[in-house]
Amino acid sequence: MKKSKFNLANDNKKNDETSRIVCLGIETTAHTFGVSIAVEENGQGKILSNVRDSYTTKKGGMIPNQAADHHVDVCDVVLKKSLDEAKIKIDDVDVICFSQGPGIGHTLRIGAFFARCLAHMFGKPLVGVNHCIAHLEIARLVTDATDPVLLYVSGANTQVIAYEGQKYRIFGETLDIGIGNFLDCFARELDLGFPGGPHVYELSLKSKKYIELPYVVKGMDVSFGGLLTNLKQKIHKSAFGKEYTKEDLCFSAQETTFAMLVEVAERALNHCDKRELVLGGGVACNKRLQEMCHKMCKDAGFKFYVPEPQYLIDNAAMIAWLGLLEFKVGNILNVEDSKDSKMLPYWRTDDVIVNWR
Ligand code: ATP
Ligand code: FE2
């Protein structure tokens, strides 16, 4: 990462206790286009606005170029709404941040382009942040957790992350698909539309009948691919043989996968010797997953935190907040060099040196 003319790491004015830093964050790693304004005033962080517009479908999954078209369609309106809600003018913004990766290339490109245009046009510094780390940092802002293990459960990602030696390290993760992708594919097979997680949850509430399913935990890693194949076979059978109801399958799929996630989260907490668990990612909105994590933490003596849903699903507030933290230590991209701000679809959580903690 090159340093641009906007290196504020040594700018005493900004490091002053009474200073105010205003940050505009842009999120486009997948289905959500979001813009948020975060501020730090007298050492206190605050989210002033967190506006999003998400691509959805009634049937089938997400088509990447359609999601990108969606982001192009809504970007100006979302930007204006976010500035208006925060009562901030673009001139008052100190820094523009965007989620540089990981994510879907089609949609990441829109965010990187939009952010660089704004930085250029308005003469603002530009910060590219790691989306996965942003999930953890927003949890540290909006809950009382200080040094938590994050169970990060979204569409593409399923990771157990904790801070250790200047990095957010991945202690466990999925060996194939993310839990959200699993739920979305399963829901698509049941003709439930995208995103599938909330539909699966609604149907699960109507059953208490557990159907035995494959349970795959390897150390602190999990795998959902075989389970998805198994469920597809059962759905197929139910269509013809009427052996399994949608409700029983939804209930059992949740119970199995969430038990796997709780098991690896508990193992990571003990392994890392941490005392706090936080949830992040869209699947963390699921009340049953929250309940199971809560019970494990209560039994084992850990503290458990769930940020409110607007900070769990993909959101620009976490991008703005992490961007602000990184801006303060001078992690600034060179706006003049387009390669410096290019998207990083495969950017790993543990590739980032955490120099702001
Ligand atoms: P990331 O880029 O971090 O991988 P993402 O693009 O998958 O994130 P998120 O908003 O974090 O976006 O998560 C979306 C996922 O969350 C979808 O798979 C969706 O089905 C799932 N989801 C949303 N609400 C719920 C819910 N209440 N229960 C279960 N899953 C849910
Ligand atoms: Fe996310």
What is the pLDDT, as a whole number, of residue 85? 98
Query: Would the CB of 183 count as within 6 Å of ligand 1?
Result: yes
Together in a domain, 38 and 129: yes
What is the pLDDT, as a whole number, of residue 13? 45
Query: Would the CB of 111 count as within 6 Å of ligand 1?
Result: no
What is the pLDDT, as a whole number, of residue 281? 96
Q: Residue whose CA is closest, atom 5 of ligand 1?
A: 155
Residue of 63, 151, 181, 183 best suited for mutating to test ligand 1, as the one with most atoms within 8 Å of CB: 183
Look at residue 48 and tell me if it is in a domain.
yes
Together in a domain, 302 and 157: yes
Q: Which atom of ligand 1 is nearest to the CA of 180?
A: 18
Together in a domain, 56 and 98: yes
Residue 261 is part of a domain; what is its CATH number? 3.30.420.40
Look at residue 341 and tell me if it is in a domain.
yes
Cβ count near 199 (within 10 Å)? 21
Please give the distance, rounded to the nearest whole angstrom, from the Cα atom of residue 156 to the centre of ligand 1: 8
Query: Would the CB of 130 count as within 6 Å of ligand 1?
Result: no
Together in a domain, 90 and 152: no
Query: Would the CB of 201 count as within 6 Å of ligand 1?
Result: yes
Look at residue 357 and tell me if it is in a domain.
no
Look at residue 5 and tell me if it is in a domain.
no
Domain that holds residue 187: 146-306
**End residue of a domain, out of 306, 323, 341:** 306
Round to whole Å and give the CA distance between 153 and 74.
26
Together in a domain, 293 and 318: no
Instruction: For residue range 94-121, list pLDDT tens digits in order.
Output: 999 999 999 999 999 999 999 999 999 9
Together in a domain, 214 and 333: no
Residue 68, token pair as written in the block:
């990108």
Cβ contacts of 76 within 8 Å, gap of 6 or more: none
Q: Which atom of ligand 1 is nearest to the CA of 195?
A: 20
The low-confidence residues of the chain, meaning pLDDT below 70, are 1-18, 60-61, 238-242
Query: Would the CB of 195 count as within 6 Å of ligand 1?
Result: yes
Say whether the peptide bond before residue 309 is cis (omega within 30 degrees of 0). no
Look at residue 232 and tell me if it is in a domain.
yes
Contacts from 58-64 at CB under 8 Å and sequence distance 24+? 58/193, 59/191, 59/193, 60/188, 60/193, 60/194, 61/184, 61/185, 61/188, 61/194, 62/30, 62/31, 62/184, 62/194, 64/104, 64/105, 64/106, 64/107
Query: Would the CB of 156 count as within 6 Å of ligand 1?
Result: yes
Together in a domain, 347 and 293: no
What is the pLDDT, as a whole number, of residue 2? 42
